[in-house]
Chain A
Amino acid sequence: MQNEEIKEYIISQEPEAKFDETGEWLNVIINPLSWRLLAEKLKNADLQLDYLFCLTCIDWKTHLTMVYHLTSTKYRHSIVIKTDINRIAPQIETVSDIWRTAEFHEREVFELFGVEFLHHPDLRKLILTDDFEGYPLRKDFEDPINMIKL
């Protein structure tokens, strides 16, 4: 499916969505509160975006941005969903029951950025030790023992 058709569909479901086509993929910027409902539609309805191939987070110092890369194994089109969340107490609905792979990736984002995924079935740290303090991929993370300031 072409980008124009994808945009039309997304606008019909989520009128507030904004688009950015400067990069390799079609970026869809949405409100975090509408993400959960939209995600279900993206996977099951016309677009058939059944494969979440990347889930990550960006720390912009003022806010965090969740980034979801989706693709369709049927139509071979891909889009990127971006949504800004609050940095002080970041929360967003989980999509782990929609794309099972997210269960893993959300745990990773949880330990590295401190984003709380609401209704996640098993939100524990993934790789870091359970007693690890802080969120190491945040820009203001400090570790006076292991890291020097650049």
Chain B
Amino acid sequence: MELREEIVENNKEFPGQVVPVPGGGIIVSTFEDIVNWARSNSLWPLTFATSCCGIEMMSVASSKYDFSRFGFEVARATPRQADVIIIAGTIVNKMAPVLKRLYDQMADPKYVIAMGACAISGGPFFYNTYSVVKGADHVIPVDVYIPGCPPRPEALLHALITLQEKIKSRLTLDQLRQPNTQ
């Protein structure tokens, strides 16, 4: 099975095994898995958008697509309360230190999604400019990339679900960097 499919397959159920006992069952799991399961189902995004991808992000937050179905409902206006930052838009040289600062202010564990062509590589319109950072991953580490200009709302939902699977599989950059804390 492909790695991607394997990850999806492994994360469908609540982590752990059911040990049947008379009158019911006991779930045996690791503490780490349960913590990651809980965290992945309650990811609070930071209200952060620098250009047109932000409109798509708002659309995903609204009732038609509704990312709160997957636990992303509470968009926070302060990085201190946010778990995930969706970089929705172009990062220019003057914005880069601000983005870095926002990321630094977020409490661990924290995750990053780069949404759209600008956040991935500088963008289809701005790639040959003195003012644009050629990809947000020059500034902060990115867990999930979404191509598109702008990506469809479904693509963002897919990325959010991918991030959840990554967290449950302990594969996010934050988890790999600090393997002992969780």
**Complex interface residues of chain B between 74 and 121 (CB less than 8 A to chain A):** 93-94
Tell me if A129 and B94 are in contact (CB < 8 A). yes
Of B34-42, B129-137, B170-178, the segment with at least 4 beta carbons within 8 Å of chain A is B129-137
Query: Is A141 located at the chain interface by the 8 A CB criterion?
Result: yes
**Chain B residues with CB below 8 A from A150, complex form:** 128
Using Cβ atoms and an 8 Å threshold, which residues of chain A touch B128? 146-148, 150
Q: Is the CB of A147 within 8 A of B94?
A: no
CA distance A150 to B128 in the complex (A): 9
Chain A residues 127 to 142 lying within 8 A of chain B, measured CB to CB, are: 127, 129, 136, 141
Query: Which of A127, A129, A146 touches B129 (beta carbons < 8 Å)?
Result: A146
A143 touches B130 (CB 8 A): yes
Residues in A with CB closer than 8 Å to B129 are 146-147
Classify chain B's interface size. under 10
Q: How far apart sit A43 and B119, CA to CA, in the bound complex (Å)? A: 46
Interchain nearest-CB distance for A19 vs B (Å): 36
**Would you call A146 and B94 a contact (CB within 8 A)?**
no
Q: Output the residue of B93, B129, B130, B134 with the most chain A CB within 10 A.
A: B130
Question: Of A136, A146, A147, A150, which is in contact with the most chain B CB atoms at under 10 Å from its CB?
Answer: A146
- Chain A, range 97-150, C-beta contacts under 8 Å to B: 127, 129, 136, 141, 143, 146-148, 150
CB distance from B24 to the nearest CB of A (A): 63
Contact status B130-A141, CB under 8 Å: yes
Q: For the complex, what is the distance from the CA of A148 to the CA of B126, rounded to whole Å?
A: 12
A87 CA / B94 CA spacing, docked (Å): 28
Closest chain B CB from A108 CB (angstroms): 14
A137 CB to closest chain B CB, in angstroms?
Answer: 9
Q: Give the distance in Å from the alpha carbon of A92 to the alpha carbon of B129 in the complex.
A: 28
Which of B94, B131, B132, B134 is most buried by chain A, counting CB atoms within 10 A of its CB?
B131
Shortest CB–CB separation between residue A59 and chain B, in angstroms?
A: 15
User: A64–B28 Cα gap in the complex (Å)?
Assistant: 76
Select from chain A the residue with minimum beta-carbon distance to B127. Answer: A148
A148 to B132, CA, bound (A): 13
Tell me, in angstroms, the Cα distance from A141 to B131 when the chains sit together.
13
Note all chain B residues with C-beta closer than 8 A to A146: 128-132, 134
**Residues of B that sit less than 8 Å from A by CB:** 93-94, 128-132, 134
Q: A141-B130, A146-B132 are in contact. List 14 more A-B contacts (CB 8 A).
A: A127-B94, A129-B93, A129-B94, A136-B130, A136-B131, A143-B130, A146-B128, A146-B129, A146-B130, A146-B131, A146-B134, A147-B128, A148-B128, A150-B128
